Amino acid sequence: MLANHILKFITYFCNKAESKVQELDYLAIVSDAKAREFVTKHYALIERNCRELLARMKRAEVPISHEFYLKLFQLSKPRLAADIILFDEGQDASEVMLDIFFKQPATKVIVGDTHQQIYGWRHAVNSLEKTDFQEQQLSTSFRFQAPIAQLATQVLAWKTKLGVGPQLTVTGAGKVTDGNTTRAIIGRTNLQLLLKAIEYVRQHRQQLRRVYFEGHIQSYTYADEGASLYDVLALYNG
């Protein structure tokens, strides 16, 4: 449990704009009652080990993460040699990315959609709410046709009534396809996707030659608290 909180603290720090671990309150992102009790009791130890592990990464004594070298880049106070910088997927920006972006002297543009934010669990923030930039709406899509656009507009209207995001009418300008269809499964968790994949493999095992997981199978086997399905398999096998 201690190691888990140390790693989560590192991820938290590497995604925030602050320059020192001590400037953050890790308890602010711990919601579970038992976890808060544990963190409160061992906070000094968690913070000290977090700083030590970050220092060891910087000294190249242990492997570094993608988040860590992005954090080092931010702390170096870079100046990008560009006249115009476009930040895409702005609804899922991390504070460390925005800190780099906003400090650039270039003309800045952010593209994003509040309704498509999916990385809040990774400490992402909606950059569209953190700027006073002039706003222009991109509401026509060539990826789908009118029926999907009408349904999307209805969903957005429903969300707006709940106070989530601005009202927007979507236009579908996509062309008719050749009639071939592709089915997709959308799940709220990786576990749901895995269960569907297993179900599909069992039903079509005679026809299937291989199964591919985007991002590799390891991306789908970890639970929220860091445990792995491989741990369950290992216990099952004794």
Position 122 scores a pLDDT of: 77
For 152-182, give one letter per residue: b (16+ CB within 10 A) or e. Answer: bbeebeebeeeeebeebebebeeeeeeeeee
Position 216 scores a pLDDT of: 75
Position 109 scores a pLDDT of: 95
Q: Where are the domains of the chain?
A: 2-73, 77-136, 137-182, 190-236
Position 186 scores a pLDDT of: 82
Amino acid identity of residue 195, one-letter, is: L
Residues in the chain, pLDDT under 70 = 177-181, 222-227
Decide: 171 and 150 in contact? Cβ < 8 Å.
Answer: no
Position 227 scores a pLDDT of: 65
Position 113 scores a pLDDT of: 86
Please state the pTM of the whole predicted model.
0.70
Position 55 scores a pLDDT of: 96
Position 175 scores a pLDDT of: 85
